[in-house]
Amino acid sequence: MKDYSKWKDDEIIKLFNFIENGKKENKSLSTLFSEYASKTNRMPNSVRNYYYAELNCLQNDSARRKRLNIDLSLHQKIDQKEFSNEETKELVLEILNQTSKGISVRKACLNLANGDINKMVRFQNKFRTVVLKDKELYESCINELKNKGVSVKSKLPNNVISMPDRRNILTESDINSLFLGLVKLVKKQATMQVSTTLKHECEKANQTLRKTLVELSEKDNELKMLRKQFKVLNMQNNKLVEEIKLLRGQTAELLTKQNKLSALKKFTQKYENKLNEIN
């Protein structure tokens, strides 16, 4: 088996760890196989077949199981048996009965599976198979429920989509509908583009406005500081003016005294000269 798959030990550990983590999130094995296949560029069926083959191998090789540190209690293989005709009919009747009460097919299958995701997916797939491929059984179940007074719609239940018949020629109505759809799509795209542009421009304008408000606030603070400085300078200037006036008055008074002393000195000198002449 190892020569066939050529998976390395670290790849095996990654696969089994991925399955364990996915089960904790209530994901089905089919979903996990698809996700791991997409992640590792493999085919989902290849991952599935390898997983089950490796699981069988590990069950018979305790030494290798211990070396890889894989807990097989988290990887029990589920052997699913085919639905009998009675089981299939009972399943369809119960799902239709629940959907008649407004419950979706998915929810009905989950209720029947008691919360087991794997069983829910199995029930849902079986129901869809009946709806798409066994019209006779499906219609008989609907009629049986109607005879019991259960209101069942002939329309397919939730989560079941029937493919419309393919037509090779488009009618004029189809072409018009397609054209109108394209026009609406173009308008929607244009509206989204304009909205995106306007949003971008508004954000840009808001950024500019915030920047301008910050600059104005800074300028206002500078202006307030200059006003305070001007007020102080004005007070100092007034004080200097008063001091200058005082000094001018004192200077004028000194000059007056000096003039008087000079005149007195001249008079005294003149008087002394007269006395000297008399003597």
Beta carbons of 53 and 1 less than 8 angstroms apart: yes
DSSP state of 155: S
- For residue 75, give the nearest of 124, 21, 10, 3 by alpha carbon: 21
Q: What percent of the chain has pLDDT over 90?
A: 16
Q: What is the pLDDT of residues 249-268, one digit of tens each?
A: 888 888 888 888 888 888 88
Amino acid identity, position 115: G
Q: What is the pLDDT of residues 207-249, one digit of tens each?
A: 777 778 888 878 888 888 888 888 888 888 888 888 888 888 8
Token code pair at residue 149: 């007074």
Q: What percent of the chain has pLDDT over 70?
A: 86
Beta carbons of 100 and 146 less than 8 angstroms apart: no
Token code pair at residue 58: 């590990």
The answer to which of 80-84, 213-217, 270-274 has the lowest mean pLDDT is: 80-84
The answer to which of 4-18, 60-74, 148-162 has the lowest mean pLDDT is: 148-162
Query: Domain spans of the chain?
Result: 2-74, 85-147
Residue range 16-21: mean pLDDT, rounded:
92
Report which of residues 156 and 255 the model is more confident about: 255
Residue with tokens 């066939």: 4
- For residues 131 and 128, give the distance between their C-alpha atoms in angstroms, rounded to a whole number: 5
The pLDDT value recorded for residue 171 is 61
DSSP string for 185-239: HHHHHHHHHHHHHHHHHHHHHHHHHHHHHHHHHHHHHHHHHHHHHHHHHHHHHHH
| Residue 112 in this model has a pLDDT that exceeds 80 | yes
- For residues 174 and 147, give the distance between their C-alpha atoms in angstroms, rounded to a whole number: 41
Strands (E), 26-179: none
